[in-house]
Amino acid sequence: MSSIADELTSALGPGKVVQDPAVLAAYAVDQAPVLDYQQPLAVVFAESVPDVQAAVRSCAARRVPIVARGAGTGVSGGAHATEGSVVLSLERMNRILDLNPDDETAVVEPGVVNADLNDAAARHGLMFAPDPASFRISTIGGNVATNAGGLRCAKYGVTRDSVLALDVVLADGSLIHTGHQTFKGVAGYDLTGLFVGSEGTLGIVVGATVRLKYLPREVHTIAAFYPDFRQAAAGVLAVGKARVQPAIMELLDGGSLVQLDEIHGSDLAGRGASLLLVQTDGFGAAAEADVVRDVLAAGGAVVTTEASEEAEHLVDMRRNSRGVEVDDQYRVGEDVAVPRSRLVDYVAALESLAETHEVRLKVVAHAGDGNLHPTFWVDRVNDLADAEAAARLNKALDASIAVALDMGGTITGEHGIGQYKLRWLSLEQPEPIRELQRRLKELFDPAGILNPGKAI
């Protein structure tokens, strides 16, 4: 009897199905901690919609799990291979099929890199607003799968707010089109919104029609240095009370500043123990920036007016503030969100938890929408840490989730549940809600072959 790899090769042709051990290992995981390492049976590099349909049909006939993958930049394990699975890479489907500056829309394949779409849109004075920190390598399909956010979320929203229509291959290999070309459209149930953020568990996105926004003619960036993180978090609320809507509000603690200095040779930590980075845009950017400077200075910040080149450098440094480390069982970056009014309280709780459980902590946050990325870790010697240290880390993680939920927050603001966060999902969503989601999954994927063990 032929193997699934042989059948896929027969269906798709040579060069698209790979079983080389190095490739299998590279495509077995994304950037999340690995709870259950599984090597896929094969990696399929689809180059067209018919390729995806053929791969899904072959897997469906044998009930082989299929895990769709973009650039592998996810940090929740949504693209981890599961036992006996085939990984379906969409990175070769990377064409911008249409960009209409009059309609302010673009139609793209799932493998289009976020930055490439923005470069194409910029030539028409437009932009694709969602901008995850990995925008230079992350794909639009991955953005859609996780409902990715980013730095500009405070003003422009998350990926779902920019998706108008989707082309989706279902679990039986059939192709459907959801949504509309227009900005407004409320006919029937919102299936487009359902697929966004479903992490490849309901269908495989093979095309997206996205809304573009105007590229700001003017941008002003304000750097406000504070003596501590809690005061900086209070500055976020002060800007809101002034009724200014920044495009970007990013918060970095002292540990993050030290790490950035080590990487870039900068002197951020010498200028303060916490940094609030605020960016205003549009024709009112200068006036809004003046208000922000006054408000932050009144709250005890040392406020600088950065030259445009340094301002862009600061924003770029923030995008890379995770550093070069990859999350594992000894270092975990989280993705909680709390109501903005509780930012100060949550930051205080994180600092207390780190002290109580004797773990190290650094925090960056999309402060404009209350989405924080605390990273807890324990030190290792020769890449090893004892079991007691790992246990302390997990206790700190569990406690940080519990506190966020107690404050009315969520266990994930933009990274998705994937495989790693399933352990906490029942704390946020009661059983009746989870049962409804399981029934939806069964409706779209009765054999359970699409990215099993993820998201719900």
pLDDT tens per residue, range 70-82: 999 999 999 999 9
pLDDT at 311: 66
Please name the amino acid found at residue 376.
Answer: F
Least confident of 107-111, 257-261, 270-274, 322-326: 322-326
Rounded distance between C-alpha atoms, residue 278 and residue 262, angstroms: 23
pLDDT at 296 over 60: yes
Please, how many CA atoms are within 13 Å of residue 361, restricted to the half-sphere of its CB?
Answer: 25
Place 307 in a pLDDT band, splitting at 50, 70 and 90.
low
Please, how many CA atoms are within 13 Å of residue 188, restricted to the half-sphere of its CB?
Answer: 8
Can you point out the beta strands (E) in 92-162? Answer: 96-100, 105-108, 126-127
Least confident of 32-41, 234-243, 321-330, 362-371: 321-330
Q: Would you say the pTM of this structure is higher than 0.85? A: yes
Residue 66 DSSP SS3 = strand
pLDDT tens digits for range 415-428: 999 999 999 999 99
pLDDT at 346: 94
Average pLDDT value for residue range 253-257: 89
Could you give the angle at the alpha carbon of 28 between the alpha carbons of 140 and 399, nearest 5°? 80
Give the distance from CA 397 to its chain's centroid: 19
Rounded distance between C-alpha atoms, residue 199 and residue 362, angstroms: 28
Cβ–Cβ < 8 Å for 303, 294? no
Place 352 in a pLDDT band, splitting at 50, 70 and 90.
very high
Please, how many CA atoms are within 13 Å of residue 248, restricted to the half-sphere of its CB?
Answer: 29
What's the sign of the alpha-carbon dihedral 128, 134, 139, 140? negative
Q: Which of 5, 127, 138 is nearest to 66 (CA)?
A: 5
Close Cβ partners of 430 (under 8 Å, ≥ 6 residues apart): none
pLDDT at 94: 98
With a pLDDT cut of 90, the percent of the chain lying above it is 75
Least confident of 33-42, 251-260, 323-332, 441-450: 323-332
pLDDT at 305 over 90: no
Tally Cβ neighbours within 10 Å of residue 287.
12
Axis crossing angle, helix 343-356 with helix 229-241, rounded to the nearest 10: 170
pLDDT at 130 over 70: yes
Please, how many CA atoms are within 13 Å of residue 96, restricted to the half-sphere of its CB?
Answer: 16
Rounded distance between C-alpha atoms, residue 267 and residue 228, angstroms: 16
Distances (CA, A) of 350 to 162, 179, 356, 376: 33, 41, 10, 10
Average pLDDT value for residue range 183-202: 95
pLDDT at 158 over 60: yes
- Residue whose tokens read 């070309």: 181
Please name the amino acid found at residue 104.
Answer: E
150: left (phi over 0), alpha (psi -120 to 50) or beta: left
Give the distance from CA 130 to its chain's centroid: 10
Please, how many CA atoms are within 13 Å of residue 433, restricted to the half-sphere of its CB?
Answer: 7
Q: Which of 98, 324, 351 is nearest to 232 (CA)?
A: 351
Average pLDDT value for residue range 41-52: 98
pLDDT at 321: 64
- Please state, rounded to an integer, the average pLDDT across all residues of the chain: 92
